[in-house]
């Protein structure tokens, strides 16, 4: 482990009795709220978070016995997810030519049958994109619970559970990379739309049963979103926060995650120890955690009372030559509160 704390770890997370949970259901004041009260100013709050000094060892983190079961479960999901992402990146034009021929030759049985068979194969691939999203949806609450349940403050908890912290970071990173690939593959939705049309209207295709029709509708709705995996991540995080009544614990952890990622990038001692690929990784995770925080915290990431130093974060993103514009667009267009009237002009200017 590589950790050097200069921040006082306030006892902010709640302590729970076993019979109070599925686990815990009691609400508490979060670290951010406590620190605000103690320090009384947003500038001081920045200083507190800036004093966190945690090296998150992405390449060498080893799960403790307590982390091992969940770590392995998430690892299996992420390994399969990478195969799915590789498949999406190879999708290319999909069934575009078969669709064109089917439209041009509506009465040709052979053309219609060939198009349907081709689109059926592509549909199986599209279904795998949906299914891996559901697997990610299933593991995120367990990761959040492990990292947010306390009783230690977020920085100490993340340092203590480095392996699971890395897994959460990998999930956030994967969500970004999948949604980028999805936006770069317009043929996917065109194929799926025409496949559903053939199922319901073609005289040459046997009508599907109601369960299959419902499945195709669900997958089509899922992939119609510009950022389907981000929607999953935001939805499952918000639902989990509402369920356990500990939104502040989750948002405190996300803020700490954001600062740790930023410090991996803007502190020379950390930067010199990580490869350019890991630098890109931390940049994506930092922005992904920011977007997730903005959707989870009731006031969002951009208001004056936010614990996140947005302008400094944006400057760090801009220093990344590979991903800066795409990530800045993510902040502009996929956050919830950026366009709120409470967003300071200086923050809008930084992102202009």
Predicted confidence at residue 36, as pLDDT, reads 38
H-helix segments, the chain: 31-39, 42-50, 65-89, 96-104, 109-148, 154-160, 162-183, 186-201, 210-224, 228-244, 247-266, 268-271, 276-296, 310-318, 324-334, 345-350
Q: How far is CA 326 from the centre of its chain?
A: 15
Span 308-348, pLDDT tens digits: 999 999 999 999 888 889 999 999 999 999 999 999 999 99
29 C-beta neighbours (distance < 10 Å), count? 15
Predicted confidence at residue 260, as pLDDT, reads 94
Predicted confidence at residue 211, as pLDDT, reads 79
- pLDDT lower than 70: segments of the chain: 1-45, 202-208
Token couple for 125: 């691939």
Q: By three-state DSSP, how is residue 227 classified?
A: coil
Q: What is the pTM of this model?
A: 0.85
Residues 6+ apart with CB under 8 A from 118: 95, 98
CA dist 195 and 281 (Å) reads 36
Predicted confidence at residue 14, as pLDDT, reads 40
Q: Is 112 exposed, middle or buried (0-12, 13-18, 19+ CB in 10 A)?
A: buried
Closest CA to 174 of 89, 243, 276: 89
The H or E element that residue 153 is part of is: none
Q: By three-state DSSP, how is residue 215 classified?
A: helix
Predicted confidence at residue 204, as pLDDT, reads 61
Closest CA to 2 of 168, 110, 158, 234: 158
């Amino acid at each position: 482990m590589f950790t050097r704390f200069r921040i006082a770890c306030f006892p902010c997370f709640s302590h729970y009795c076993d019979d109070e949970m599925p686990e815990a259901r009691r609400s508490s004041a979060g670290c951010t709220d406590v620190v605000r009260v103690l320090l009384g100013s947003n500038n001081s709050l920045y200083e507190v978070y800036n004093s966190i000094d945690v090296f998150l060892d992405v390449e060498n983190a080893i799960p403790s016995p307590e982390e091992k079961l969940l770590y392995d479960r998430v690892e299996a999901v992420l390994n399969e997810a990478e195969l799915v992402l590789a498949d999406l990146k190879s999708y290319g034009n999909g069934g575009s030519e078969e669709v064109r021929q089917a439209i041009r030759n509506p009465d040709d049985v052979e053309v219609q049958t060939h198009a349907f068979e081709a689109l059926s194969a592509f549909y199986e691939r599209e279904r795998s994109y949906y299914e891996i999203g559901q697997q990610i949806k299933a593991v995120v609450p367990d990761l959040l619970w492990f990292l947010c349940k306390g009783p230690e403050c977020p920085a100490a908890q993340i340092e203590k559970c480095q392996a699971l912290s890395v897994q959460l970071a990998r999930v956030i990173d994967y969500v970004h990379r999948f949604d980028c690939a999805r936006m770069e593959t317009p043929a996917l939705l065109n194929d799926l739309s025409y496949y559903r049309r053939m199922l319901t209207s073609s005289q040459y295709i046997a009508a599907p049963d109601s369960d299959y029709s419902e499945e195709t509708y669900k997958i089509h709705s899922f992939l119609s979103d510009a950022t389907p995996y981000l929607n999953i991540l935001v939805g499952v995080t918000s639902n989990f926060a509402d369920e356990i009544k500990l939104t502040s614990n989750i948002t405190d952890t996300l803020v700490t995650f954001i600062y740790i990622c930023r410090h991996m990038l803007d502190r020379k001692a950390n930067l010199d120890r990580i490869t350019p690929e890991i630098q890109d990784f931390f940049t994506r995770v930092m922005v992904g955690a920011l977007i997730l925080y903005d959707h989870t915290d009731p006031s969002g990431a951009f208001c004056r009372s936010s614990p996140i130093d947005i302008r400094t974060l944006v400057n760090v993103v801009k220093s990344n030559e590979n991903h800066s514009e795409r990530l800045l667009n993510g902040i502009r267009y996929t956050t919830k509160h950026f366009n709120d009237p409470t967003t300071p002009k200086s923050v809008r200017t930084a992102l202009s």
